[in-house]
Structure 1
Amino acid sequence: MYVIDGQAVAVPAADTDAVVGELRDRAEILDALYRFALGQDLKDKDLLASAFAADAELDFRPAAARWGGRPPVMIGRDTIVTTILAMFTDRVDTTHQVTNPRIAVDGDTARLTALVEAQHLLTADHGTFALLKNPYDVELVRDGQRWTVRRMRIANTWYTGDPTAIFG
C-alpha cells in the first residue's frame, strides 16, 4: 500500500532544473491532500472541490469496514464534495493532520501515500467523537500547474471513540 521508493527525489542532484521541477510537483501533489483535509475542516466547498479531478473516486469502504460501516464509493468531484459537506456541516467538527507522506511521480500521474489522523466530534456534544488513524493511498493527475486526486482509498489502522455516531 505504501510508496517505498528509497529516495525522496528521483532526478539527479546535478540537474538543478529537474530537481526544482520535481520538488514543485511534490509540493503540489501533497497540497492536493492538504486541500482535501482543510476543505473538510473548514467546510469550504471550493477548497474541498479543488482537491479532486472531475471524475475522481473516493473509497472509504476499507476504513468503515473496521467498525461495520458500508458506505458506497463516491464517484465524481461534485458527489464527493456534496456528500462530505452534507455529512459534516453543522453536525461534526473535524481536524485532519497529514503525516509520513511518500510520493512517486510518473510524468503527469503520481501516487501518494500518507497517514492521516482524523478527529471527528459531534458539534452538539464533543464527548461523542471518533479519532481515526487512516492510511491513504492516492492516485493523482496533473491539472495545469497543480495536481488533483483521481482516486483516493482510505483504510484504517486504529480508531477510538464511536465512529457509528459520526458516520452512521
Structure 2
Amino acid sequence: MYVTADHALSAPASDANAVAGELRDRAEIVDALYRFGLGQDLKDRALFASAFAADAELDFRPAAGKWGGRPPVMSGRDAIVDTILTMFTGRVDTTHQVTNPRIAIDGHTARLTALVEAQHLLAADRAVFALLKNPYDVGLVRDGERWVIRHLRIDNAWYTGDPTAIFGG
C-alpha cells in the first residue's frame, strides 16, 4: 500500500528543468489531498469537488470495517461530493491533517500514500466525536496544470471515540 522508494525525486539533480517540473507535480499531487481535506472541513463544495476526477472512486470500506461499518464504494465526483457533504454539513465538524506524504509519478498518473488524522465532532454534542488515524492510498491523474484523485482507499490504523455516531454502523 505504501510508496516506499528510497528517495523523493526521480529527476537527476543535474537537470534543473526536470527537477523543477517534478517538484511542481509533487506539490500539485499533495495539494489534491489538501483540497480533499479542507473542502470537507470548510464544507466548500467547489474546493472539495476540485480534488476529484469526474470518474473518481472513494473506498472507505477498509476504515469503516474496523468498527463494523459497511459503506458502499462511492463512484463519481458528484456522488462523492454530494454524499459526504450531505452527511456532514450542519451535523459534523471536521478537521483533517495530512502527514508523511510519499509520491510515485509515472507520466500522467501518480500514486500518493499519506497518513491523515481526521477529527469528527457532532455539532449538536461536542462530547460525541471520532478521532481517526487513517492511511490513505491515492491514485491520481494529471488534469492540465493540476492533479486530481481518481481512486482513494482509506484504511484505519486506530481510532478513539465513537465512529458509529458519526458515520453509522
TM-score band (shorter)?
over 0.9
Q: C-alpha root-mean-square deviation of aligned residues, in Å? A: 0.3
Residues 7-45 of structure 1: CA distance to partner in whole angstroms, max 9, x if unpaired? 111110000000000000000000000000000000000
Distance 1:27 1:70 in 2: 33
Give the TM-score normalised by structure 2. Answer: 0.99
Q: Which residue of 2 aligns with 1:23?
A: 23
| Shift of residue 154, structure 1, vs aligned partner | 0.1
Q: Which residue of 1 aligns with 2:64?
A: 64
Residues 117-154 of structure 1: CA distance to partner in whole angstroms, max 9, x if unpaired? 00000001110000000000000000000000000000
Query: Which amino acid in structure 2 is aligned with residue 41 of structure 1?
Result: D
Distance 1:89 1:33 in 2: 20
Distance 1:5 1:106 in 2: 13
Distance 1:148 1:93 in 2: 24
* Aligned residue runs from structure 1 range 43-82, under 5 A: 43-82=43-82
| Shift of residue 65, structure 1, vs aligned partner | 0.1
Q: Which residue of 1 aligns with 2:99?
A: 99
| Shift of residue 105, structure 1, vs aligned partner | 0.3
| Shift of residue 4, structure 1, vs aligned partner | 0.3
Q: Which residue of 1 aligns with 2:159?
A: 159
Distance 1:127 1:93 in 2: 12
Q: Which residue of 2 aligns with 1:109?
A: 109
Residues 70-93 of structure 1: CA distance to partner in whole angstroms, max 9, x if unpaired? 000000000000000001000000
Distance 1:74 1:44 in 2: 19
Q: Give the gaps of 5 or more residues in structure 2.
A: none
Distance 2:42 2:119 in 1: 13
| Shift of residue 104, structure 1, vs aligned partner | 0.2
Q: Which residue of 2 aligns with 1:89?
A: 89
Q: Give the gaps of 5 or more residues in structure 1.
A: none
